Structure 1
Amino acid sequence: MVIRRIREHAAQQNWFSVAIDLLIVGVGVFLGMQASNWNDARIERQQSESYRIRLVEDLRANESDLQQRRAYYRQVRSHALAALEVLELPPRPAGEQFLIDAYQATQVVPRTLSRFTYDEMIAAGGVDRLDGADLRKRVKNYYSGIETAETTFRTIPPYREHLRRVMPYLSQRQIRTHCREALGTSSSGEQMNILPKSCRLALDSSSISKAVAQVRSSPGITADLTRYLIDLELKLDLFDLLEGRARNLRQALQEQTA
């Protein structure tokens, strides 16, 4: 309709009206572009807010996960220290508790920490939409730190393979039956692994003595367990470090959303 009116005014050589019509068209185009820009900015703000909220939830889940891992690996470390004490003092009598300690020291939690939101943001270029260069840097550094730590978390110690190779099958089966770790789910949905505080094996004294002697006499078992204890100490330190970083970053993101 506007184009037809411009043509009519041009045919009548009514240039003032033509100018008015063109101005109306220009203003309409400008307002349309501005509305589109405003809408795009609104959608981007909403997406950025959604990312921040989801990052907060992921970080809270990581905090819970790291706390659970720390408790689990402290149990593993306790078993490892008890087994090492027996291995380093061969004359000391050893029974089924040594077998339990030696086996439970091989337990691991190989799962990864939650980073689904961050990976999605990387794919969509969403990290750069977070407010503040310092906050963006902290987010990137945190997840970069997780990636480095996961290398340690995923490491399967030689001791695990060594012990499970030399301990008699019947002993291992009894431990897995009577000393099985409990699997649960936290309030935020993460898997929880808990080792039993105590358990008893349905093995006769002859089988226990044979199994203890077989483990004790395996070359290098003490060295492998010693090395694994150092690895456990590193894991526990990393759990503390990453939990603190996750908590601090979560609080910073919550301040942005407040």
Structure 2
Amino acid sequence: MILARLSSAIRTQNWFAVALEFVIVIAGVVIGFQIQGWNETRQGQLRVAEALERLQRETEQNIANLRVRNDNNAARTADQSVMIRVAMSGEGTPEDVETFERAIAQLMYFSAPPIQEGSYRALEQSGDLTLIDNQELISALNYYQGAVIWIETQHGSFRAGLTTFTDTLNEFVFHEPTDDPLVTHARVDLDLLIEDPRRQSALVQMARMHAIFGQYIIGLEDQTAELCERLALETGRPCEVPS
């Protein structure tokens, strides 16, 4: 219809009508682009809002997992204190010896921090991370990711360090089968251990490495909680850590 009116206006040399039709066409195109832009912006905002909600829930679960790890680390540290005391003195109550052997068996178990990052990776890979216009939030996310990467690097270094003590540990620790085929019992030759101060020193160093890395995990829990509170400002939902 617009083309028909435009052709008619040109034939009759009604230049005002021609100009008016051009203005109408151009305005329609501009408005169409604006509406498309608004829709794309709105869709991007919805994607980011959904992604931040998923990221907050993932962060809440990470806090819960880190709390469990820190509780376990505290119990392990207490066992290792008994382990060091028995290793240095060569004496202990039956309960101390049981704790001593349990601590010995756990020395080489050194798992990575229980952190999930699927939501952040999905946000990053989809490109939706660039849709976040809050620079403070971007800085908080980048800072946290840097902290996680550093922890993972330290885990690899500490894990390699513990492996160097494996031969020393094998000199006085013997693994015996139990009724459970998946579980072995660590029997420690205490007399053989205390014969050589270097073996005692190895235990001390291993326990020290566990304690240091345990402090890193405590710090990571605090940083994760800070990120959760920051995300809560964006989502409008309080940070709720599952029990």
TM bin (shorter chain): 0.7 to 0.9
Deviations 1:158-179 (A, max 9, x none): 3773466342232xx33x9499
| Residue 153 to residue 64, structure 1, CA distance change in 2 (3 Å) | farther
Taking the aligned partners of 2:205 and 2:129, their CA distance within structure 1 comes to 39
Aligned to 1:153: 155
Query: Normalising by structure 2, what TM-score?
Result: 0.79
Q: Quick check: 1:165 aligned with 2:143? A: no
Deviations 1:29-77 (A, max 9, x none): 0111011010011011111211221221121111111111111222222
What pairs up with 1:1-258 in 2 under 5 angstroms?
Answer: 1-90=1-90, 92=91, 97=98, 98-110=100-112, 112-154=114-156, 155-156=158-159, 157-158=162-163, 161-162=166-167, 165-166=170-171, 167-170=173-176, 173-174=177-178, 177=180, 211-216=189-194, 220-258=198-236
**How many residues get paired?**
229
Deviations 1:202-258 (A, max 9, x none): x9xxxx67x444555577332222122222222222222121121122112112222
Deviations 1:126-158 (A, max 9, x none): 334334322221121011111101222343223
Structure 1: segments with no counterpart, 5+ residues: 182-200
SS of 1:106's equivalent in the other structure is coil
* Preserved CA contact (<8 Å) 2:70 2:217: yes
Identity of aligned residues (%): 17
| Residue 52 to residue 76, structure 1, CA distance change in 2 (3 Å) | same
| Residue 99 to residue 82, structure 1, CA distance change in 2 (3 Å) | same
* Preserved CA contact (<8 Å) 1:49 1:257: yes
Taking the aligned partners of 1:55 and 1:133, their CA distance within structure 2 comes to 17
* Preserved CA contact (<8 Å) 1:56 1:254: yes
CA RMSD of aligned residues (A): 3.0
Give 2:74's aligned amino acid.
R
* Preserved CA contact (<8 Å) 2:87 2:193: no
Query: Normalising by structure 1, what TM-score?
Result: 0.75
